[in-house]
Amino acid sequence: TQSRYVRCVKPNTQKRKLVMEHITTMEQLRCAGVVAAVLISRSAYPSKLFHSEVVERYGMLNEGKPKGGYPDVKSECEDICKKMLKHLETTNKSGKTQSGFAMGKSRAYFRAGCLEYLESERSKIWDKWAVKIQKPARGFIVRRRIMREKYAKFAEAVIPVQSLFRLILAKKKAATAKKDKKRMKRMGKKSKKAAIRIQATVRGFIQRPKYRAALRRKKEEEDLANQLVKMQDKLAQAEEQRKRDLEDARFQFEQEMEEYKEKLEDQLRAEAEKQNKSAQQQTLIDESGKIIEYLRKENMKLRQQCESMKRDYKSLKENNARLMEANASASNSFNQLNEHAKGLNATNARLIKNVDTYKKQLVKMKEDLKNRQAFYLAEAHARVAYQKTLARIVAQVQDKSRDAQLVEDVVIWALECEAEAKSERAALENAGQQAPPGGVSAAPAKKSNKPSDDSDSDSDSE
């Protein structure tokens, strides 16, 4: 069963370690109800599995599946259990038939012995399938052994033919590689020139709008500076004009005051002479009042003109401040453009440096490739010798040995060597693909490639 209980059980009464008293332990389990629970569970349905687990594990036993399939997993599970456990049904004392399983909402419950029967049937099917798979494999091995025994005499003649054919292929491959190298060299020069032209065009295309914008900004700054100078000149002229107007008005006012004083003195003298003329004095007083009123009005006009000139001066001063701020912002933007141009120059220098490093790496990789090619050519001769020796040993064993079992063992040993060599070559190729360029040493390649190439030549000779 799959039931789980947590109970505190004392293994012995002496409180000693590594001592187990079976009678005392069983009494504790019986008193705790564990034994009774296990007996009750095993008396009815001790084993239980989910519907999906039953279908996945024992679906191969269901041979008569309907064409349309089953509506759900539960119905398929119930059909499998009915077909396989039909002969395990029992009849109780009341005459009712009891099946070996019971279906729940999510699980299937099995009586004792039902699950073991399903497992035995499943193992029988696995045995049948194993035999079916082994039949073609064993037939292939036997046929291959017979063919080797039949054509063993031609093995020595095949090796020179293979060597000649491989020599021709190697020469063609070397010539093709030489042509490709020259072509790539020419293409490299052309592509470098084309890249320089494209870079020059693109960089010019990128920099021209920026240069034109910088020229426009500089021209605007110059225009603003000229306008600022003109405004300052106008402001100075207006200030001078205001001062001149004030001086003129002050001078005119002083002259009028002097004239009025003179007139007033004359009138006072005339009044002193003509004290007995009251009517004339009254008229003089009225005229003096009118003159004073006129002077007051003129004074107010001059004050208003002075206020308007002050307002004009203030507006000109504000315009001057705005122009100064615009000039400062324009100078800041020009400085930012200069900094951006410096950054572009630094980036260009880094790119040129990276190109130089890549060229050095390319030269190093080419040298590494030449060394590996020479190493592989040297290895090829050793592999051919190893292949000849292996083929000679197998041929001598097949010709001189009368023990069929020994011949079969030698052939199997050769096949195992071939398979092991192929696996090592595949592992080496995977390691070479995952490693960075120029990072794989020549020593491990020599160790792993030797048996693989020998096995290749052996398979070709077969």
Give the C-alpha distances (Å, rounded to integers) separating 419 from 112, 135, 388: 48, 21, 18
Q: Specify whether the CB–CB gap between 418 and 347 falls below 8 A.
A: no
Task: Compute CA distances 398 → 108, 174, 394, whole Å.
Answer: 60, 39, 6
Q: Beta strand pairing status for 90-91 and 101-103? A: unpaired
d(CA 110, CA 106): 14
User: How many CA atoms within 13 Å lie on the side-chain side of 134?
Assistant: 6
CA distances from 121 to 66, 74, 125, 361 (A): 21, 21, 7, 66
CA separation for the pair 460, 158 (Å, rounded):
9
Q: Give the dihedral sign, CA 124/129/130/136.
A: positive
Give yes or no for a contact between 107 and 49, defined as CB atoms under 8 angstroms apart.
yes
**Angle, alpha carbons 82-85-87 (nearest 5°):** 115
Residue 27 tokens read as 């009494």
Query: Which of 454, 462, 447, 383 is CA-nearest to residue 419?
Result: 454
Nearest C-alpha neighbor of 103 from the set 186, 45, 33, 18 = 45
Asked if 54 and 109 count as a contact pair (C-beta separation under 8 A), the reply is no
User: What is the model's pLDDT at position 443?
Assistant: 38
8 Å CB contact between 245 and 302: no
pLDDT (0 to 100) of residue 172: 93
At 64-108, the pLDDT tens digits run: 888 888 899 999 999 889 888 888 887 777 778 888 888 999 999
pLDDT for 390 equals 73
Pair of tokens at residue 423? 């696996």
With H, G, I as helix, E, B as strand and everything else as coil, classify residue 224: helix
pLDDT at 459: 40
Burial bucket for residue 22 (CB in 10 Å: 0-12, 13-18, 19+): exposed
Spatial CB neighbours of 53, under 8 Å, sequence gap ≥ 6: none
Q: What is the pLDDT of residue 410?
A: 76
Nearest to 454 by CA among 413, 412, 425: 425
What is the pairing mode between strands 97-98 and 47-50? Answer: unpaired
The Cα 59–Cα 79 span in angstroms is 10
The owner of tokens 């693109």 is 202
In this structure, the number of other CB atoms found within 10 A of the CB of residue 248 comes to 11
Find, among 97, 106, 120, the residue nearest to 77 by Cα. Answer: 106
Regions in the chain scoring below 70 on pLDDT: 1-5, 274-284, 380, 387, 402, 404, 421-422, 424-462
| Distance separating alpha carbons of residues 297 and 65, to the nearest angstrom | 124
Q: Are 54 and 80 in contact, with CB atoms under 8 Å apart?
A: yes
Taking the whole predicted model, whether its pTM rises above 0.75 is answered as no
Tokens 């070996």 locate to 100
Kindly list the distances between the CA atom of residue 183 and the CA atoms of 45, 170, 194, in Å, as whole numbers in the listed order: 80, 20, 16
Which uninterrupted H or E stretch holds 54? helix 51-58
Here the tokens at position 148 are 């080797």
